[in-house]
Amino acid sequence: MAQEFNDFLDFKSSYSDAHFVIIPVPMEITVSYGRGTSKGPQAIIDAIFQLEAYDIEFKKEAINAPVHTMDVIQANDAPGYIERIKQNVSKCVRDGKVPIVLGGEHSLSYGVFLGLAEHKKDISILHFDSHLDLRESYEDSKYSHASVIRRIREHSVSIHDVVSVGIRSESSEEASYVAKSGHKVFYAQDIYRKDITNELNKILGDNLYITFDIDAFDPSIMPSTGTPEPGGLEWYQTLDILRAVIKGRKVIGFDIVELAPDGVNHHSEFTTAKLLYKMMAYALNFGVR
């Protein structure tokens, strides 16, 4: 039997006591290829119970802060989802919590950003993805998963910088936008040739929001996603980047999106749950609290 959302990783903390607040968002409105992102949050929660709480890297149980899980967010359309996500994230930040949104499709990250920006300025956004998501609109929707970073970048007054990592697919429209805007991109093919952590640390500011589309990973370790692209990031390579950029920074929120469980490749949801664990552990043990 699947565990309940509020039974997360052996933590059953109240909202008032929590450091992290999990916000499950099974949003699946603008997906354009493979489907199944609505099943992502529950699959991550189910898989998290199969992880060992003890972490070999830290030589201890590395998540030593209380965690609360909110009720699942539901809406009828993309604007409705974005508004409800904004409200919930804003409440968390106002109350001194670190919101963690589990998706669901990537368009939900616009709501996460809007909620953060109500209380935080000078936000650095680290965007892991195989796609740039910089289209003005896609399939007649400006809230498409293919446009989410473009929407976020429009709020420049709240942004220190936006950096995309792991990219290996872009449209001609996006290539032109990158050239004109100066949007910083670390393409996957270049990451395999050099260590980018020093460059990232020179760019990113103190307040860090991480949005992680799991198709940033190579399909060999992450097949269960709607739009997989060959040549992606590997596991330890990704952890090296996360560890380096979180160290000494305040993680003000993060999301993990685009898991589309297929009922066959169970390692996808397990790997996503492990990613969630590591991001929380790094924020607690290396970040500024």
State both tokens at 59: 């030589």
Whether residue 149 is contained in a domain is answered as no
Burial class (CB in 10 A: 0-12, 13-18, 19+), 27: buried
The reply to whether 142 falls in a domain is: no
Q: What percent of the chain has pLDDT over 70?
A: 93
Asked, for residue 263, whether it belongs to a domain, the answer is yes
Q: Is 142 left (phi over 0), alpha (psi -120 to 50) or beta?
A: alpha
43 lies in some domain: yes
* Residue 85, token pair as written in the block: 């996500």
Q: Of the candidates 27, 3, 22, which has an alpha carbon nearest to the alpha carbon of residue 258?
A: 27
Separation in Å, CA 115 to CA 85, 88, 101: 7, 7, 11
**Is residue 129 a part of any domain in this protein?**
yes
Kindly state whether residue 278 falls inside one of the protein's structural domains. yes
pLDDT 10s digits, 195-249: 999 999 999 999 999 999 999 999 999 999 988 999 999 999 999 999 999 999 9
Question: Rounded to whole angstroms, how far apart are CA atoms 276 and 179?
Answer: 33
141 domain residue, yes or no: no
> According to the model, what pLDDT value does residue 152 have?
97
Which residues in the chain come in under a pLDDT of 70? 1-11, 30-34, 139
Any idea what DSSP says for residue 97?
-
Structural domain of 190: 5-136+159-285
The pLDDT of residue 35 is 77
**What pLDDT score does 32 carry?**
59
109 within domain boundaries = yes
Our count of domains for the chain comes to 1
Cα(88)–Cα(99) distance, rounded to whole angstroms? 9
Q: The domain spanning residue 123 has which CATH number?
A: 3.40.800.10
pLDDT of residue 3: 43
pLDDT of residue 50: 87
